[in-house]
Structure 1
Amino acid sequence: MDVEFKASLPKKEEFIGLHRTTGWNAKGLYTDDQLFKAITNSWYAVSVYLNDELIAFGRIISDGIYQTLICDVMVHPLYQKHGFGKRVVENLLEKCRVENIKWVQLFSARGKQDFYKKVGFEERDIEAPGMSIFL
């Protein structure tokens, strides 16, 4: 098995193919061009290839100092539960350590909280909940 982690963005077609396996855009809120443009605005990204096929991806949005958000961690369903997601998150966190970023946040997909807890994340305190608005 020839696995390669690259600190770079995948090609648009590769990313869109992987993204479609997540079902995150099931309502069609974003076009393929918008989704790809979003990742090109990332502060840091990691792409995982198995035999030259994109099988996992993750990225960071950050100001490079203290506001840091891990986004779009995804692993193709055929390769889930093989440690690739964990390695993507570890790679993203290592980049933060190298850049001396202390506070890293993320939004978890439904049912994935335990995965993130295993790599050290904690749920926000009930007295300081995360909030969002959908426009």
Structure 2
Amino acid sequence: MEIEFNELNPSKDDFIRLHQTTGWNGKGIYTYDQLYSAICNNWYSISIYHNKKLVGFGRIISDGIYQTLICDVMVHPEYQKQGIGKKVMESLLKKCDEAGIKWVQLFCAKGKQEFYKKLGFISRDSEAPGMSLFL
């Protein structure tokens, strides 16, 4: 499969079409204008296209030194299980390595833990699960 990598953010329309396939905004907490604005504030992102169609995306939020979070890794359902997600992650991790970042964190969708474990990620220790606050 001929794919194209692009380190620029996708167009808003392309991003919305891909994001809608995930079901992640099911409660409508954020508008698509807000979500697109969020990805435009990345430290780094990778967009993957097949025949000019956005089929994969991922981004990094980081200070470029030690606080690094991979988020919004998406692959269009028609392209899943074809190595696109792995290519997204390899691109993101390569960027971290080039910057000398040693510790990479991520959040993943339910049921996707095994995919990330294959890439070397480990679950946080139950003694240090982290915390969050939804305002």
In which range does the TM-score fall when normalised by the shorter chain? over 0.9
Match in the other structure for 1:2: 2
Structure 1 residue 2 displacement after superposition: 2.5
CA distance in 2, matches of 1:106, 1:132: 14
TM-score of the two chains, using structure 1 as the length reference = 0.98
CA distance in 2, matches of 1:72, 1:26: 15
Match in the other structure for 1:128: 128
Q: Please identify runs of 4+ aligned residues in structure 1 that moved more than 3 A.
A: none
Structure 1 residue 49 displacement after superposition: 0.2
Q: In the TM superposition, what whole-angstrom CA distance separates every residue of 1:70-89 from its partner, at most 9, and x where no partner exists?
A: 00000000000001001101
Identity, in percent, stands at 67
TM-score of the two chains, using structure 2 as the length reference = 0.98
Match in the other structure for 1:103: 103
Paired residue total: 135
User: For structure 1, which runs of at least 5 residues remain unmatched after alignment?
Assistant: none
Are residues 1:68 and 2:71 paired? no
Q: Secondary structure at the match of 1:54?
A: strand
CA distance in 2, matches of 1:132, 1:108: 15
Letter in 2 for 1:25: N
Letter in 2 for 1:122: I
CA distance in 2, matches of 1:3, 1:130: 37
Letter in 2 for 1:120: G
Q: Secondary structure at the match of 2:90?
A: helix
Match in the other structure for 2:24: 24
